[in-house]
């Protein structure tokens, strides 16, 4: 009989060689050209006693051949065995059937006549049904049948197990399929090997059940070994004593570190997943898995405890469910060990899709993340588990990362931010660096105007004018000689009047920053809304200018020809969207992005890990800054900085990124000299130059 064996791994190669030795014409198919070339030269990809000689003898007799071409392999075959890998799927432990289904699709397209398609791979219950449907939908010839023929081979004794099996299990729903499998195994009838015909699902489950039962025996004797140690008994003699009972048998009663290998761990987890999907609890198998995991980890943890550094590479970005069982124990133990932990890509237990931990996770001292930072590394609360972050370049071009589908999220880095600052020309003059108007201040809040204006000057703006209520102008003008002032009509309370918008629009300016210390009154609201409605230059709105839209956020919109940047703190953002502050903080990225894209504005949502969201849906996270900046006036400084950089760069996104990063960097420098507790907004002003110097020095050194 002509047989095609898809896959030349352990099961496929042993099975193919043994079938050939039975006298069948067998051709093995594998996509790995190097492996096929080696097999044709008699070089085995695995070690199994007697396999090399078996392959060589049958190849010389013309009964065993190898190819990389599926069409060549299945041409004329009456039986097609699928023996590709079914590794445990990361995250849930279920068998990954990707290779199985890929093979089925390919063979369906090249089959010229019906055949029996047989799964040798260990597959979950119901896989045969899915293969049947897939063959039908992909156009396999009518009359093609599907059967299950699980293998029960032991490494080191696989050929003997195949030729002298305890049993042969065949699961098939059609008599034609049973007849083909009966003919294939006819040579074993001389050895009186029992062949058990069952339904397909029964055969699929039998393999999992068999390995799970053997795993039970191993875990059982390990539990008895622990008891023997406690009561001073000899576990070897206990194992012999119970193994002589024919109902139990001596095999798999050897205490040790627990079952390992490639089959038992994978198959017990897959069985549990199958049972979970069926809604049937498997308490014994579940306990066995837990006992085995604990046994294995206990033996290794003593070695781990002697280390001075732990590298956490248990899970990566594919985790979707909370850790459980042994992995949960491992994480708890290494966290409690006090040994520094370096996580690769993500601390194990965090999900790349959520800023919130989905369960227990590694508390890393450092995370070396690959190619680009992941969401939980840069935003709370997940970030507290990441430690210091190192972004490892693994050769993926930046344009490839930026071109990926899905939400655009980027961590601001000094290397990239530094490229936004260009050297000034030798013949430059103040007009080259923009004219900024700061509309700010009211009675009792003149300091806000000063902080914004000085921040704009410290950030390089060529000319800065403070437009402030006329009654406040003498105070504002006396605070610094570097900026100009412009009186605005005001009311009896010292706040700007609504008609003052006319004067502001008449000024010669490139950018308007509006809001710091402006006050909250109907007149101010009318003034701000008129400015947004009629203004033709870019606007940076902060504080009271944002609150002016609290009862009508729909009126706060940008235009293609005139950018609007808003810089709310969480409370102001909450008022804009009519939601509790807690909701804003729980979804900072989502809230900022939704408002930015809906209103066509740039949103700088201040706070820990300030979020910048653009009208196009791009999001940037700022890593600089510290809790010492949670003090009055620091937001006013940021407003002036954004306006100044916008006036110079003429790029709203770039201005936000640069200003926000430098703002936090200045705060970090101020913390060194002043501490978080003693820091003031003026300290930020004093350290803006140092922050710029550090950033431009980095750029120079990299050049």
Find all residues with CB under 8 Å of 572, minimum gap 6, and list them.
Answer: 543, 546, 547
Give the tens place of pLDDT for each residue, 297-327: 877 787 888 899 999 999 878 788 888 877 8
With a cut of 60, say whether residue 698 has pLDDT above it.
Answer: no
In 351-424, beta strands by DSSP E: 366-370, 388-392, 408-411
- Candidates 18, 28, 228, 263; catalytic one: 263
Catalytic, 307? Answer no
Secondary structure (H, E, C), 249-293: CCCCCCCCCCCCCCCHHHHHHHHHHHHHHHCCCCHHHHHHHHHHH
With a cut of 90, say whether residue 647 has pLDDT above it.
Answer: yes
What distance in Å separates the CA atoms of residue 681 and residue 447, rounded to the nearest whole number? 10
Out of 86-90, 213-217, 568-572, the most confident range is 568-572
Mean pLDDT over 218-246 rounds to 93
The domain segmentation of the chain, as residue ranges, is 2-198, 207-300, 305-405, 418-702
Q: What is the four-CA torsion angle of 594, 597, 599, 602, rounded to 10 degrees?
A: 100
**Local confidence band at 559 (pLDDT 50, 70, 90 cut-offs):** confident
**Closest alpha carbon to 378 in 363, 365, 392, 367:** 367
Mean pLDDT over 194-207 rounds to 94
In 316-449, beta strands by DSSP E: 341-344, 366-370, 388-392, 408-411, 435-439
Contact 66, 36 (CB under 8 A): yes
Joined together, the tokens standing for residue 229 give 């140690």
Q: Tell me the average pLDDT of the chain.
A: 92
**Tokens 């001292």 label which residue?**
365
Give the tens place of pLDDT for each residue, 9-59: 999 999 999 999 999 999 999 999 999 999 999 999 999 999 999 999 999
What distance in Å separates the CA atoms of residue 638 and residue 52, rounded to the nearest whole number? 73
Mean pLDDT over 144-161 rounds to 93
Give the tens place of pLDDT for each residue, 131-143: 999 999 999 999 9
* Confidence (pLDDT) at 93: 62
What distance in Å separates the CA atoms of residue 94 and residue 270, rounded to the nearest whole number? 5
**Local confidence band at 245 (pLDDT 50, 70, 90 cut-offs):** very high
CATH superfamily of 2-198: NAD(P)-binding Rossmann-like Domain (3.40.50.720)
What distance in Å separates the CA atoms of residue 626 and residue 166, rounded to the nearest whole number? 69
Give the tens place of pLDDT for each residue, 272-283: 888 888 899 999
Contact 507, 465 (CB under 8 A): yes
In 395-516, beta strands by DSSP E: 408-411, 435-439, 463-469, 484-488, 511-514
User: C-alpha distances in angstroms, 76 versus 2, 27, 64?
Assistant: 7, 11, 15
Joined together, the tokens standing for residue 369 give 């993340």
What distance in Å separates the CA atoms of residue 243 and residue 341, rounded to the nearest whole number? 44
Find all residues with CB under 8 Å of 566, minimum gap 6, and list them.
Answer: 540, 541, 542, 546, 556, 601, 602, 603, 604
Contact 331, 360 (CB under 8 A): yes
Give the tens place of pLDDT for each residue, 665-687: 999 999 999 999 999 999 999 99
Overall CATH class of domain 305-405 = alpha beta
Give the tens place of pLDDT for each residue, 516-531: 999 999 999 999 999 9
Contact 145, 116 (CB under 8 A): yes
Joined together, the tokens standing for residue 325 give 């069982």
* Confidence (pLDDT) at 262: 67
The count of other CB atoms within 10 Å of the CB of residue 472 is: 26
* Confidence (pLDDT) at 702: 54
* Confidence (pLDDT) at 42: 93
CATH number of 207-300: 1.10.1040.10
Asked if CATH classification 2.60.40.10 holds for the domain at 418-702, the reply, yes or no, is no
* Confidence (pLDDT) at 175: 93
In angstroms, how far is CA 52 from the centroid of its own chain?
43
Give the tens place of pLDDT for each residue, 402-413: 777 777 888 999
Give the tens place of pLDDT for each residue, 317-372: 878 888 887 788 899 999 999 999 999 999 999 998 888 899 999 999 999 999 88
Decide whether 2-198 matches 207-300 in CATH topology: no
**Core vs surface per residue 631-659: b (16+ CB within 10 A) or e:** bebbbbbbbbbbbbbbbbbeebbbbbbbb
* Confidence (pLDDT) at 405: 75
């Amino acid at each position: 009989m002509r047989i095609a064996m898809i896959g030349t791994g352990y099961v496929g190669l042993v099975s193919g060689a043994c079938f050939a030795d039975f006298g069948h014409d067998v051709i093995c198919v594998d996509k790995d050209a190097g492996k096929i070339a080696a097999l044709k030269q008699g070089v085995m990809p695995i070690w199994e006693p007697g396999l090399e000689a078996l392959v060589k003898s049958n190849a010389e007799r013309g009964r065993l051949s190898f190819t990389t071409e599926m069409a060549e392999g299945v041409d004329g075959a009456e039986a097609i065995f699928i023996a590709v890998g079914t590794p445990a799927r990361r995250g849930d432990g279920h068998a990954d059937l990707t290779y199985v289904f890929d093979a089925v699709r390919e063979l369906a397209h090249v089959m010229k006549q019906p055949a029996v398609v047989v799964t040798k791979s260990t597959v979950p219950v119901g896989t045969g049904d899915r293969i049947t449907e897939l063959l039908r939908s992909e156009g396999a010839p009518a009359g093609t049948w599907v059967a299950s023929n699980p293998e029960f081979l032991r490494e080191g004794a696989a050929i003997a197990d195949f030729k002298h099996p305890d049993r042969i299990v065949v699961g098939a729903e059609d008599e034609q399929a049973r007849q083909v499998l009966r003919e294939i195994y006819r040579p074993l009838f001389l050895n009186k090997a029992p062949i058990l015909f069952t339904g397909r699902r029964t055969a699929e489950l039998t393999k999992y059940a068999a390995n799970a039962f053997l795993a039970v025996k191993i875990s059982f004797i390990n539990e008895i070994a622990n008891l023997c140690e406690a009561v001073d008994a000899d576990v070897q003699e206990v194992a012999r004593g119970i193994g002589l009972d024919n109902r139990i048998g001596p095999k798999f009663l050897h205490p040790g570190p627990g079952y390992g290998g490639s089959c038992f761990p994978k198959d017990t987890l897959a069985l549990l997943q199958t049972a979970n999907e069926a809604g049937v609890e498997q308490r014994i198998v579940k306990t066995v898995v837990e006992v085995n995991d604990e046994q294995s980890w206990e033996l290794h943890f003593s070695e781990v405890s002697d280390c001075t550094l732990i590298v956490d590479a248990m899970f990566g970005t594919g985790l979707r469910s909370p850790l459980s069982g042994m992995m949960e124990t491992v994480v708890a133990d290494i966290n409690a060990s006090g040994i520094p932990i370096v996580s690769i890509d993500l601390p194990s237990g965090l999900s790349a899709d959520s800023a919130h931990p989905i369960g227990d996770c590694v508390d890393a001292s450092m995370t070396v993340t690959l190619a680009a930072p992941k969401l939980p590394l840069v935003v709370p609360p997940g970030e507290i588990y990441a430690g210091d972050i190192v972004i490892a370049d693994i050769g993926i071009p930046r344009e490839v990362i930026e071109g990926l589908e899905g939400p655009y999220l980027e961590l601001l880095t000094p290397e990239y931010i530094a490229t936004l600052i260009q050297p000034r020309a030798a013949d430059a003059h103040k007009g080259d660096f923009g004219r900024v108007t700061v509309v700010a201040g009211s009675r009792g809040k003149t300091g806000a105007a000063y902080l914004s204006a000085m921040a704009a000057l410290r950030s390089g703006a060529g000319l800065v004018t403070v437009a402030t209520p006329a009654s406040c102008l003498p105070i504002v003008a006396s605070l610094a000689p570097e900026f100009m002032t412009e009186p605005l009509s005001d009311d009896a309370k010292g706040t700007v009047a609504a008609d003052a918008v006319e004067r502001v629009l008449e000024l010669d300016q490139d950018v308007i920053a509006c809001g710091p210390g402006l006050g909250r009154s109907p007149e101010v609201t009318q003034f701000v809304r008129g400015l947004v409605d009629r203004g033709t230059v870019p606007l940076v709105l902060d504080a009271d200018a944002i609150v002016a839209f609290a009862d009508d956020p729909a009126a706060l919109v940008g235009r293609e020809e005139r950018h609007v940047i808003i810089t709310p703190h969480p409370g102001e953002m909450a008022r804009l969207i009519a939601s509790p502050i807690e909701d804003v903080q729980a979804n900072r990225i989502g809230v900022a992005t939704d408002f930015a894209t809906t209103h066509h504005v740039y949103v700088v949502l201040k706070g820990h890990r300030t979020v910048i969201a653009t009208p196009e849906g791009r999001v940037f996270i700022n890593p600089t800054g510290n809790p010492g900046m949670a003090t009055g006036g620091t937001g006013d400084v940021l407003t002036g900085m954004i306006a100044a950089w916008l006036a110079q760069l003429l790029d709203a996104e770039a201005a936000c990124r640069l200003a926000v990063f430098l703002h936090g960097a200045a705060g970090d420098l101020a913390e060194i000299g002043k501490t978080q507790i003693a820091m003031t907004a003026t300290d930020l002003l004093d350290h803006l130059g140092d922050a710029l110097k550090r950033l431009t020095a980095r750029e120079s050194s990299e050049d």
